[in-house]
């Protein structure tokens, strides 16, 4: 298939999704999110903030920085990572915001850093964590959306459902503006918020999956365009072959397809 431009319009609480991974695989690099089950169910995002990690038994204190963050844990840079299984108290600060949690070391790489899984969070710190994740998710989504070769402008009928602010369920038939292997830009008239989880159905294939609102772009007198990110990446959801990472509209195949009028 050749590609071309498409023209269309109290007691500590366990965090949400409390399934904790038994192990976390080594990240490809310090700046890459931890892999494994934790990454699949709770995507990690680039996030830089000051952190203090204190070992519960020994009292060893490490002051460093967070490299990435998820709902279930974080990765921190340190030349002296703690041993696997170490129980810790974590304090993350960014600007005037503070987040505290109990955590366990589940990944340790000498002279590089360590991965921590949150095991208990006081309820008062949930809003801070969710705010940071919403901001990081939006930054990540916008950056991916700017990589034009990785998204396709295409109108596909979809059905969106979820909960409104008052807790009442809603369902809306609408369509996409752009799609990618990791999400979509869709029109939604129902008021939603960043970080909200929605169900997205492909009307043509009857397939459905869970997604998260990453970005909201409001236009006067028009329904807002919302960017949604799949909870689990699913490149087959749209039944569209996406361009390779190195593809651009100037690629010879793109020019050839435009001349010959081939459809995608």
One fold for 37-132 and 155-239? yes
Q: What is the pLDDT of residues 140-174, one digit of tens each?
A: 877 776 654 467 889 999 999 998 877 789 999 99
Which among 28-37, 115-124, 222-231, 240-249 has the top mean pLDDT?
115-124
pTM beyond cutoff 0.75: no
Section 246-252 average pLDDT: 48
CA distance 173 to 156: 11
Q: Higher pLDDT residue, 166 or 25? A: 166
What is the average per-residue pLDDT within 181-197?
Answer: 89
Relative to beta strand 183-187, strand 222-230 is antiparallel
What is the CATH architecture of 37-132? Beta Barrel (2.40)
Please check the confidence at residue 20 and state whether its pLDDT lies above 70.
Answer: no
Say what the pLDDT of residue 208 is: 92
Asked if the model's pLDDT at residue 13 lies above 90, the reply is no
User: Of 6-10, 81-85, 219-223, 245-249, which has the strongest mean pLDDT?
Assistant: 81-85
Query: Quick one: pLDDT at residue 251?
Result: 46
Q: Give the residues across from 170 on adjacent strands.
A: 162
What is the reported pLDDT for 145?
A: 67
Rounded Cα distance between 129 and 120, Å, is 13
pLDDT mean over 66-75 = 93
Least confident stretch, 15-19, 111-115, 166-170: 15-19
In this prediction, what percent of the chain has a pLDDT beyond 90? 46
Q: Report the alpha-carbon distance of residue 122 to residue 102 in Å, rounded.
A: 9
pLDDT band at 245 (very low <50, low <70, confident <90, very high): low
Domain range summary for the chain, segments of one domain joined by +: 37-132, 155-239
Q: For position 124, what pLDDT does the model report?
A: 96
258 CB neighbour count, 10 Å cutoff: 13
Please state, in angstroms and as integers, the Cα–Cα distance from residue 42 to each residue in 16, 74, 200, 212, 229, following that order: 10, 11, 18, 11, 12
For residue 134, is pLDDT > 50? yes
Work out the mean pLDDT of the chain and round it to a whole number.
78
Is pLDDT of 28 > 90?
Answer: no
The CATH number that domain 155-239 falls under is: 2.40.10.220
pLDDT computed for residue 5 by the predictor? 39
Q: What angle do CA 166, 176, 165 make, to 5 degrees?
A: 5
* The pLDDT value given to residue 146: 64
pLDDT tens per residue, range 92-102: 999 999 999 99
More confident residue, 204 or 240: 204
Tell me the backbone φ, ψ of residue 45, rounded to 5 degrees. -125, 150
């Amino acid at each position: 298939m050749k590609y071309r431009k498409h023209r269309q319009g109290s007691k500590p609480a366990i965090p949400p999704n409390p399934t904790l991974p038994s192990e976390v695989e080594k990240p490809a690099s310090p700046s890459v999110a931890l892999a494994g089950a934790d990454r699949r169910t709770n995507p990690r995002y680039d996030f830089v903030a000051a952190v203090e990690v204190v070992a519960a038994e020994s009292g060893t204190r490490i002051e460093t920085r967070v490299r990435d963050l998820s709902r279930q844990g974080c990765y921190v840079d340190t030349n002296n990572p703690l041993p696997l299984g170490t129980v810790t108290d974590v304090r993350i600060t960014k600007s005037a915001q503070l987040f505290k949690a109990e955590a366990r070391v589940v990944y340790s790489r000498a002279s590089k850093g360590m991965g921590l899984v949150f095991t208990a969070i006081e309820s008062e710190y949930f809003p801070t964590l969710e705010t940071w994740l919403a901001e990081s998710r939006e930054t990540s989504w916008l950056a991916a959306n700017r990589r034009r070769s990785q998204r396709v402008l295409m109108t596909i009928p979809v059905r969106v459902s979820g909960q409104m602010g008052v807790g009442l369920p809603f369902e809306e038939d609408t369509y996409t503006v752009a799609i990618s292997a990791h999400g979509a830009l869709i029109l939604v008239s129902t008021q939603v918020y960043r970080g909200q989880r929605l169900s997205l159905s492909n009307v043509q294939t009857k397939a459905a999956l869970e997604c998260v609102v990453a970005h909201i772009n409001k236009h006067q007198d028009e329904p807002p365009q919302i960017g949604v990110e799949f909870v689990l990446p699913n490149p087959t959801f749209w039944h569209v072959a996406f361009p390779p990472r190195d593809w651009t509209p100037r690629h010879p195949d793109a020019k050839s397809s435009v001349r010959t009028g081939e459809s995608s």
